[in-house]
Chains A and B, each alone.
Chain A
């Protein structure tokens, strides 16, 4: 039986954005709505929490589901890149893989997010 733990970013004033983490057979970070600049700090906190949880649970994969993410400010995107950097800094045995699930019908995702895998092809994969 999988354990499902849902973390919601607290006190994000923008009702257009939500970020949930569900732990099951794999961890799923689901980003929904419009992540504007105000959400950046909270998203950073959530990613730091997630990073710790994944190491504590010795999970080796996480799915970042962006298929319902309408827009993302650069500050939020940089939080994702910072998170990826944190994974790269781990010892090899502690690293986990990140799969980004994109919505190719959303142009900014199709145009730019695909480049995320170029940061580390060993750790990052893109699925559409």
Chain B
């Protein structure tokens, strides 16, 4: 049914007015993070979408729908969007104006609606891929491409430098931005934390190989896993993978006795290996325990003396024994088999563990079994702090969790301008406000564009507490964790 011209004309007038309001509000949101303007934008576009459908402007309806998708992405990023995204929103608005006008009779025959929708879709896809690929972690694909493994000490040294690169990239425009994006991404991919899950199904596949090895050695072994899923870095996961491989093989080969020997010792013929993992107090602990014969310290020491690794009269306690077992090339076997004897197992375990800052210890009781324990410190991979935004900065800033908001103004506050603190122009926007914060020692007034809100941020490039800040992500959006006490003049 065709609608009366008066209704269609009314729609045209009202729709263009809506779009003009949205254009003004969009500029306001980007410039000042104005909450009311943001609400208006979403409301107006949603209304326009409904109205356009009602009056038969299905093309406007379609573009409005796509624009809503764009706006949702922008909202999820706190309206910290790139120039091209800003242009896409503006183009979508202008495209709708053109579609609304087209039925007035002007020449608009060359409109490529599918092409335009395709362009919007490609922008959405790009941002979705961008979002998926950065959940607070460097994508494994990128890390693999770089094939670089950066020692923890180097990462700690370079992380503050990466903050500088990120800041410069964030405020740059055009070709400079493209160039700095490349530099920043290289640093991020090289240095950033890559996350992985340890536990769960990861070890289930080991059951078959354990049974196969035990059969090969003529032993009866059952293995039990108690490794709940936990988030660690990929370096830690690799260290644990290596440790699990060698410690379990060693337990089967060296620890668990043959059935006859177990029977003679009064044990069940089937030996047991227990593998446990637990994350607590910022450390991951991984143990492999067997109920075998235990380490024969006398035999280890004798072999070490043979190899010239230990003097006959030197003291030899449990620590010395584990030290010798981890020595490169050390094995109590004089002939290497396809299972053991090359002396690389425990050496590889300890090397991997030490590389990620961990320790390997062992406790063994002759006749009862051995427990190897790996303890790896893992700094918190997430943090909860107040997120603030400020006009002119395209990224969120999370205040270190040691700071909390205050309801009252301090007597002698130190005023911190967020933009200026990060080396940019002090904020002159009328929309900035001062919020009071304290870490229990210092009290500051934070000049920013919104009321600080608590968020969970994922640490991408941790820095020590002595650094001004570090790179974090919030819902995949990169930002800065700021430690106000490190701002010159604050403390």
A residues contacting B by CB (< 8 A) are 34, 36, 69-75, 77-78, 81, 85, 88-90, 92, 95, 105-108, 111-124
B120: chain A residues within 8 A (beta carbon): 115
B120, chain A: closest CB distance, angstroms: 8
Residue contact B178 to A88, C-beta cutoff 8 Å: no
Residue contact B88 to A120, C-beta cutoff 8 Å: no
Residue contact A89 to B106, C-beta cutoff 8 Å: yes
Q: A88-B108, A105-B178 given. 13 additional CB < 8 A pairs? A: A70-B174, A71-B177, A74-B86, A74-B89, A88-B98, A88-B106, A89-B107, A112-B84, A115-B88, A115-B115, A118-B95, A119-B116, A122-B107
CB-CB under 8 A for A70 and B84, given A114-B119, A120-B108, A121-B110: no
A113: chain B residues within 8 A (beta carbon): 87
B108: chain A residues within 8 A (beta carbon): 88, 120
Please report the C-alpha to C-alpha distance between residue A89 and residue B98 in the assembled complex, in whole angstroms.
11
B residues contacting A by CB (< 8 A) are 23, 27, 82-84, 86-91, 94-95, 97-98, 106-113, 115-116, 119-120, 122-123, 126, 173-178, 181
- What are 26 A-B interface contacts by the 8 Å CB criterion? A34-B173, A70-B175, A71-B175, A75-B27, A78-B90, A85-B94, A85-B98, A88-B107, A89-B107, A105-B178, A106-B178, A108-B82, A108-B174, A111-B88, A111-B123, A112-B84, A112-B91, A115-B115, A115-B119, A117-B115, A118-B95, A118-B112, A118-B113, A119-B111, A119-B112, A120-B111
SS of A interface (majority): helix
Residue contact B174 to A71, C-beta cutoff 8 Å: yes
A47, chain B: closest CB distance, angstroms: 14
Residue contact A112 to B98, C-beta cutoff 8 Å: no
B88: chain A residues within 8 A (beta carbon): 111-112, 115
Please report the C-alpha to C-alpha distance between residue A62 and residue B115 in the assembled complex, in whole angstroms.
23
B111: chain A residues within 8 A (beta carbon): 118-121
CB-CB under 8 A for A112 and B119, given A118-B113, A121-B110: yes
Please report the C-alpha to C-alpha distance between residue A76 and residue B451 in the assembled complex, in whole angstroms.
32
Please report the C-alpha to C-alpha distance between residue A27 and residue B115 in the assembled complex, in whole angstroms.
27
Residue contact A115 to B116, C-beta cutoff 8 Å: yes
Cross-interface CB contact of B107 among A75, A78, A95, cutoff 8 Å: A95
Q: Which residue of B lies closest to A108 (CB)?
A: B84
B387, chain A: closest CB distance, angstroms: 25
A90, chain B: closest CB distance, angstroms: 8
Cross-interface CB contact of B84 among A75, A85, A111, cutoff 8 Å: A111
B128, chain A: closest CB distance, angstroms: 14
